A and B are shown apart, each in its own frame.
Chain A
Amino acid sequence: MRRLSDRVLKVRSKNAGPFWVTIDVFCGTSDVFEQVRLELRTEAVAALFQQPSQLIKRFDIADLNVIKFSFPRPVAQGARTDRDMHGAQWAILLAEFPLGS
């Protein structure tokens, strides 16, 4: 099974303010960008992060060969149940996400 990280240059995530997290998928080339853009369904990403898909903001940025997802953090940064203050581990879940083919 191929994972997203086998296809793209880099997947990274960070807080976008204390209430949001944002994940960037750097595809590297327009070919990879086009393939990944079609295969990576927003609903599947929402399920991976246990979010309703209407909360996922998605930006397919062809000029940069980047796909970007933003959604509200399950808890605000620094809340007592926050497990990752800077939100960098969300990217790893997406990097490990299996793609078809």
Chain B
Amino acid sequence: MTGSRWVPGRYTVKLEGATLVGYQTSILAVLRDPHYVAHAQKWAVELHAFLACQIAQRMGLGDDAYSLEFRLIGMNSALGDMENRRGEPVEVGILGLITARTAEMAEEIGKLINPYVLHHPLTKDEELPTFAFPYSPAQSERGPLYEFALNHVMELDHPMQVFRLEVCEIGHA
């Protein structure tokens, strides 16, 4: 690097912060039946709508109390709406991400949706399918979720204005 130049200006400090937005539980299943692989997106959308009703009826939770998102691994889980390729996957992984106010609530939602993630049918008149759970129980706690909430530049009159030094001597050689 050449040609750089020091331009004097106000003394600034970068300020970043994250905040707790909830607790997560995740659930993973795998679709291998070609009928379900071919209609995985439709299945996931319908399952989500069905589960929102179940969670509202049985736990009394509205949309604002939690979030549930399904990502289809093998289709578009990495890029979402940006994905522009369509393939014919052999199998599709379904990753459910539950975020709620407490870990207990997220885990309870995970337990409630577990049998439906394993058995939800595409149509009412077909035999209940059974998908693959790679482990049991299929839901697992992920702990707290933090999101960035602060991204600022602080202008200071002098470098130590908002900092303090604490010196602690822990012994001498």
B145, closest chain A residue (CB) = A80
B18, B71, B82: the one within 8 Å of A93 (CB) = B82
Whether B86 is near chain A, meaning CB under 8 Å from some CB there, is no
Cβ contact within 8 Å between A19 and B79: no
Cβ contact within 8 Å between B81 and A50: yes
Q: Which residues of A contact B99 (CB under 8 A)?
A: 80
Q: Which residues of B contact A54 (CB under 8 A)?
A: none
Cβ contact within 8 Å between B97 and A80: yes
Whether A101 is near chain B, meaning CB under 8 Å from some CB there, is no
A75, closest chain B residue (CB) = B147
Write out, one digit per residue, whether chain A residues 54-92 have a CB within 8 A of any chain B CB (1) or not (0): 000000000000000000000011111101100001100
B side interface size, CB within 8 A:
23
Question: Roughly how many angstroms separate A80 CA and B80 CA in the complex, as a whole number?
Answer: 13
Cβ contact within 8 Å between B145 and A18: no
Question: Roughly how many angstroms separate A93 CA and B79 CA in the complex, as a whole number?
Answer: 9
Cβ contact within 8 Å between A83 and B77: yes
Whether A43 is near chain B, meaning CB under 8 Å from some CB there, is no
Whether B84 is near chain A, meaning CB under 8 Å from some CB there, is yes
Q: Which residues of A contact B145 (CB under 8 A)?
A: 78, 80
A77, A90, A93, A96: the one within 8 Å of B148 (CB) = A77
Q: Which residues of A contact B (CB under 8 A)?
A: 18-19, 48-50, 76-81, 83-84, 89-90, 93, 96
Q: Which residues of B contact A (CB under 8 A)?
A: 16, 18, 21-22, 24, 67, 69, 71, 77-82, 84-85, 97, 99, 145-148, 151
Q: List 24 A-B contacts (CB under 8 A).
A: A18-B16, A18-B151, A19-B148, A48-B84, A50-B81, A50-B82, A76-B147, A76-B148, A77-B148, A78-B18, A78-B145, A79-B147, A80-B21, A80-B22, A80-B24, A80-B67, A80-B69, A80-B97, A80-B145, A83-B71, A83-B77, A84-B79, A93-B79, A93-B84
